[in-house]
Amino acid sequence: MIGNYFRYLLLIFLLFGLNSCVSEKEKKKSLEVFRYNEHSNISSLDPAFAKNLANVWATNQLFNGLVQLDDSLHVRPDIAKKWEISEDGLEYTFTLREDVFFHKHILFGKDSTRAVNAKDFVYSFDRLTSKKVASPGRWVMKNVSEYKAENDTTFIIKLKNPFPPFLGLLSMRYCSVVPKEIVENKEHSFRDHPIGTGPFYFKLWVENIKLIFRKNNNYHEVNREGEKLPHLEAVAITFLPDKQSEFMQFVEGNIDFLSGIAPSYKDELLTFEGTLQNRYEGKVNMVKSPYLNTEYLGIYMDVPNENPTHSLLIRKAMNFGFDRKKMLKYLRNNIGYPAESGMIPKGLPSYSGEKFIYYDKDLALKYVEEYKKKTNNLNPKVRITTNSQYLDLCEFIQREIEKIGIQVAVDVVPPSALRDGKANGKYEIFRASWVADYPDAENYLSLFYGGNFAPNGPNYTHYKNTEFDAIYTEAISTVDNSKRYDLYQKMDSLMMKDAPVIPLYYDEVIRFSQKNVEGLGINPINLLVLKNVKKLPVK
* CB contact set of 25 (below 8 Å; sequence gap of 6+): none
Query: Looking at domain 47-239, does it have CATH number 3.40.50.300?
Result: no
What is the per-residue pLDDT for 12? 46
Rounded-to-integer distance, Cα 460 and Cα 301, Å: 9
- pLDDT value, residue 539: 67
Confidence band, pLDDT 50/70/90 cuts, at residue 17: low
pLDDT at residue 186 is higher than 90: no
With pLDDT > 70 as the criterion, what percentage of the chain qualifies?
94
**Mean pLDDT across the stretch 400-414?**
97
Hey, where are the domains in the chain? 47-239, 290-508
Mean pLDDT throughout 107-135? 95
Q: What is the pTM of this model?
A: 0.85
Asked if pLDDT for residue 210 goes beyond 70, the answer is yes
Task: Give the 3-state secondary structure of 470-512.
Answer: HHHHHHCCCCCHHHHHHHHHHHHHHHHHHCCEEEEEEEEEEEE
pLDDT at 236 over 70: yes
DSSP strand pairing (429-435 vs 284-299): antiparallel
Long-range pairs for 416-422 at CB < 8 Å and ≥24 separation? 418/385, 418/386, 418/387, 421/385, 422/298, 422/454, 422/460
* DSSP secondary structure, 54-67, as one string: HHHHHHHHH---SE
Which pLDDT band holds residue 24 (cuts at 50, 70, 90)?
low
Kindly report the three-state secondary structure assignment for every residue of 233-255.
Answer: CEEEEECCCCHHHHHHHHHCCCC
Give the tens place of pLDDT for each residue, 325-340.
999 999 999 999 999 9
Buried b (16+ CB within 10 A) or exposed e, 57-91: bbbbbbbbbbbbbeeebebebbbbeebebeeebbe
pLDDT at site 110: 81
Cis bond upstream, residue 304 (ω within 30): no
252: buried, middle or exposed (CB in 10 Å: 19+, 13-18, 0-12)? exposed
pLDDT tens column, 155-181: 999 999 999 999 999 999 999 999 999
Distance CA 343, CA 322 (A): 17
Residue 180's SS3 state is helix
Which whole number is the average pLDDT over 256-260?
Answer: 94
* pLDDT tens readout for residues 456-466: 899 999 999 99
224 Cβ contact list (under 8 Å, min separation 6):
none
Q: What is the DSSP string of 137-166?
A: TGGGGTTEEEEEEEETTEEEEEESS--TTH
Confidence of residue 140 (pLDDT cuts 50, 70, 90): very high
Residue 21 has what pLDDT?
54
Which pLDDT value is given to residue 264?
A: 86
The pairing of strands 154-159 and 144-151 is antiparallel
Q: How confident is the model at residue 2 (pLDDT cuts 50, 70, 90)?
A: very low
The average pLDDT across 3-12 equals: 50
Percent of the chain whose predicted confidence (pLDDT) is above 90 = 85
**Average of per-residue pLDDT across 505-530:** 95
Residue 43 one-letter amino acid: S
Whether omega for the bond prior to residue 338 falls within 30 degrees of 0, making it cis, is: no
Superfamily for the 290-508 domain: Dipeptide-binding Protein; Domain 3 (3.10.105.10)
Whether the predicted pLDDT of 512 surpasses 50: yes
Q: Which amino acid belongs to residue 26?
A: E
Mean pLDDT of 421-432: 96
pLDDT for 428 beyond 90: yes
Upper half-sphere CA count for residue 327 (Cβ side, 13 Å): 29
Residues near 22 by beta carbon (within 8 Å), at least 6 away in sequence: none
Residue type, 404: I
Give residue 373's pLDDT: 97
What is the distance between the alpha carbons of residues 43 and 52, in angstroms, rounded to a whole number? 9
Work out the pLDDT band at 191, boundaries 50, 70, 90: very high
Q: Is the pLDDT of residue 60 over 80?
A: yes
The rounded mean pLDDT for the chain is 93
pLDDT of residue 28: 62
pLDDT level of residue 4 (50, 70, 90 thresholds)? low
The number of residues in the chain equals: 539
Q: Average pLDDT, stretch 341-355?
A: 93
Contacts of 66 (CB under 8 A, 6+ apart): 78, 79, 80, 83, 94, 96, 121, 155, 170, 175, 177
pLDDT score of 13 more than 80: no
DSSP class of 409: E
- Cα 433 from Cα 336, distance rounded (Å): 13
pLDDT band of residue 29 (cuts 50, 70, 90) is low
In the predicted structure, residue 449 carries a pLDDT above the cut 70: yes
pLDDT at 40: 82
CA end-to-end span of the chain: 43
320 has which bridge partners? none
Checking if the pLDDT of 99 tops 80, the result is yes
What does the pLDDT average to over 198-218? 97
